[in-house]
């Protein structure tokens, strides 16, 4: 893992227009969908980030052809076979989403095996939703030599009731059920926009999927799927990151290509706090207020406020007038960044998965560590509003999840420098 640091001199008010990239968490399930067909697929609006490169390397290792056109943000994928059924442990260890190859490989080959995937240290992140779902579709599931091994000569449609509306779990089951024999109903499905994006690619490939975006998804299995040409949705977490950066720095940003309906909970909360939001069809404008109101927020599944914006919202609330309360309801260990934020002067106490934020607090530059993608983004935003210089270490997480964050911020007036080769990835 290459050492990457960001040096940030705070104090600039961000202003201007920023193009929003395609969704990180939309990219990987759609790339996995290409394993379901021997026909070529083209995916556009793909962010050129470490997580996409890593997932592409996993697909290549399985035998797929992956051609990247970075200038056009486009991926060409083809998996005519023969395909391997075990993604490489050393890559799987670096990425939670790598487990997404299980559903399509199981459906297409009748077997798949994968070691426990790595990913951000934000909670336990079990796999029971995925594995119980595969079993409900008729797969035999075993743990052999440190790998989950699933096999089923032919998956059969079933009523699959999820204990929790897991995002990757829902995607994995959707990817498996589209080629299963008969009808599948996924009850208590995740409703995130990334699920809708995947379902729309699968539909373009010839799958029969209804109800994506609600908590009940109905699938009629088909014997084979064709290729597709699919455009990813904009990245809602990158959108939220820039919106919060505008509010935090006294700035005024136009978020080009943002989809406000994917972030109702964020924009409504920002408006409550006092931030000026103007939405139109192709962009959202976010302008800071002179004074921010304290608030209570809860990070919950869609359409609530995303857990991936919780650290950023907590950071913003350090500038609000009074005591704010933040409840993290999705991941049990997602407040660890608070210790780093305190080094910049934030006054925050935590109790379990709740943070109590005292504001407004002047922040001052310091040396801090990025613990995961969103924690690192929160520290960047805090540093932009802090007096003096901040050194953000372990900033490689940002390369995994944000397309050219430093360049985009510089174009908006920030003083931010990335110290490391651009080619590194997690
Ligand atoms: N859970 C289970 N059993 C499972 C799976 C999950 O109990 O089998 C629990 C988890 O422990 C957690 C909750 O369900 O408490 C939510 O986990 P979920 O499975 O929904 O998360 P995920 O699918 O692993 C995706 C995103 C995360 C995002 C979460 C929640 C991708 C690649 N990752 O993870 O994104 O935080 O959904 O919205 O899509 C990020 O982008 O920084 C990131 C962490």
The full 3-state SS of 286-306, as one line of letters, equals EECCCCEECCEEEECCCCCEC
Q: pTM above 0.95?
A: yes
Is 123 close to ligand 1, i.e. is its CB under 6 Å away? yes
Residue 51 CA to residue 45 CA, distance in Å, equals 15
**CB neighbour class for 129 (10 Å; exposed up to 12, middle 13-18, buried from 19):** buried
168-219: pLDDT as tens digits:
999 999 999 999 999 999 999 999 999 999 999 999 999 999 999 999 999 9
**C-alpha 62 – ligand 1 centre gap (Å):** 24
For a substitution probing ligand 1, which of 164, 353, 377 has the most ligand atoms within 8 Å of its CB? 164
**C-alpha 127 – ligand 1 centre gap (Å):** 10
Inter-helix orientation angle 236-248/310-317, to 10° = 10
54-84: pLDDT as tens digits:
999 999 999 999 999 999 999 999 999 999 9
Residue 2 has pLDDT above 70, yes or no: no
Is 31 close to ligand 1, i.e. is its CB under 6 Å away? no
Q: Where are the beta strands (DSSP E) in 212-334?
A: 216-220, 229-231, 252-256, 276-279, 283-287, 292-293, 296-299, 320-328
**C-alpha 129 – ligand 1 centre gap (Å):** 11
For a substitution probing ligand 1, which of 167, 240, 298 has the most ligand atoms within 8 Å of its CB? 167
Residue 425 has pLDDT above 50, yes or no: no
């Amino acid at each position: 893992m290459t050492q990457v640091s960001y040096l940030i001199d705070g104090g600039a008010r961000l202003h201007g227009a920023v193009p929003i990239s395609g969704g990180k968490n939309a990219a990987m399930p759609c790339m996995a969908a290409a394993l379901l067909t021997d026909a070529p697929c083209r995916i556009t609006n793909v962010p050129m980030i470490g997580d996409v490169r890593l997932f592409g390397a996993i697909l290549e290792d399985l035998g797929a052809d992956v051609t990247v056109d970075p200038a056009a943000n486009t991926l060409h994928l083809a998996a005519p076979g023969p395909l391997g059924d075990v993604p490489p442990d050393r890559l799987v260890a670096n990425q939670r989403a790598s487990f997404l190859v299980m559903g399509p490989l199981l459906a297409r080959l009748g077997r798949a095996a994968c070691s426990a995937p790595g990913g951000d240290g934000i909670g336990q992140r079990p796999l029971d939703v995925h594995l119980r779902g595969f079993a409900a579709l008729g797969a035999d599931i075993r743990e052999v030599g440190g790998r989950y091994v699933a096999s089923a000569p032919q998956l059969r449609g079933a009523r699959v009731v999820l204990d929790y509306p897991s995002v990757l779990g829902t995607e994995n089951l959707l990817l498996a059920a589209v080629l299963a024999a008969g009808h599948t109903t996924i009850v208590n499905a995740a409703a995130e926009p990334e699920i809708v994006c995947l379902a729309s690619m699968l539909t373009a490939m010839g799958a029969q999927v209804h109800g994506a975006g609600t908590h009940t998804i109905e699938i009629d299995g088909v014997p084979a799927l064709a290729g597709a040409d699919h455009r990813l949705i904009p990245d809602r977490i990158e959108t939220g990151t820039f919106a919060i950066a505008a509010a935090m720095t006294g700035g005024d940003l136009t978020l080009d290509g943002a989809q406000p309906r994917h972030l109702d909970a964020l924009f409504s909360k920002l408006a409550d706090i006092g931030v000026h939001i103007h939405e139109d069809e192709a962009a959202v404008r976010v302008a800071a207020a002179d004074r921010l109101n304290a608030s209570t927020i809860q990070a919950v599944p869609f359409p609530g406020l995303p857990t991936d914006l919780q650290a950023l919202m907590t950071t913003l609330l350090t500038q609000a007038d009074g005591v704010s309360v933040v409840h993290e309801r999705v991941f049990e260990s997602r407040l660890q960044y608070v210790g780093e934020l305190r080094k910049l002067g934030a006054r925050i106490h935590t109790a379990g998965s709740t943070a109590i934020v005292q504001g407004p607090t002047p922040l001052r530059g310091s040396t801090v560590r990025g613990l995961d993608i969103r924690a690192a983004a929160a520290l960047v935003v805090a540093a932009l509003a802090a007096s003096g210089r901040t050194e953000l270490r372990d900033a490689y997480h940002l390369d995994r999840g944000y397309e050219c964050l430093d360049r985009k911020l510089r174009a908006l007036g920030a003083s931010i420098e990335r110290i490391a080769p651009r080619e590194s990835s997690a």
